[in-house]
Structure 1
Amino acid sequence: MENKVYELLEKMYVEMNEKFSNLENEIKTINNRLNNLEEGQKKLEEGQRKLGSDIKELKQGQELIKDHIDQLDSKNANRHIEAFYKLNNIEKDIKFIKHKLHQTEEDVFDIKDYLKIIK
């Protein structure tokens, strides 16, 4: 009977050692997976920081572009006003030239008429 108890205890000891060995292996596997998750999290956090930095740079660039467009808009508005003013002056000059041309034609007509009388 002592032998049976000893064999039973030995069998239990072997089984418990196997189970502890399996548990240790599972714990190692879990620790490896946990380490991988932590490394992945660090990479994600670094990527998130870089993304935040990139977004900040994009916003700054966007503000610079807005400022540049605002400056261009004001310059274009001034150019439009200047062009409109010049077109008005050209229109006045054309009207004046037409008026002078008409006066010249009348003078030529009068001179021709006068020359007909003299002949």
Structure 2
Amino acid sequence: MEELLKQIIDKLNTLDDKITNIESGQTRIEKKLDVIYDHTADLTEFRASTNGYLSEISKDVGFIKHKLHQNEEEIFDIKTYIKLAK
């Protein structure tokens, strides 16, 4: 009977150790998950701000292309005028 009780206690101690290891692993997983959430939030914020900057740059490039076209038309007109004046 004593031997059986000792075996039961040993099994309980083994189970207790395994539960402790599982709890420890769960804590590590939760910490890693928190880090992933933080990084995801940072990346989402970075993406939003980057999209804003890209939109602004796209608008600026469009304006520059428009002004370049206007300048080329004016240069063409000036060249034509100079040819007529000669």
Confirm or deny that 1:69 pairs with 2:51.
Answer: no
Structure 1 runs of 4+ with >4 Å offset: none
Matched residue, 1:86 = 53
TM-score, length-scaled by structure 1: 0.65
Q: What are the residue-to-residue correspondences of 1:31-70 with 2, within 5 Å?
A: 35=3, 37-70=4-37
- Note the aligned Cα RMSD (angstroms): 1.6
Confirm or deny that 1:113 pairs with 2:80.
Answer: yes
CA distance, structure 2, for counterparts of residue 115 and residue 46 of structure 1? 101
Matched residue, 1:101 = 68
Q: Deviations over 1:15-47 (max 9, x none)?
A: xxxxxxxxxxxxxxxx7xx62x44433332121
TM-score, length-scaled by structure 2: 0.86
CA shift, 1:65, in A, is 1.6
Amino acid at match of 2:38: Q
- Count of matched residue pairs: 86
Larger Rg: 1 or 2?
1
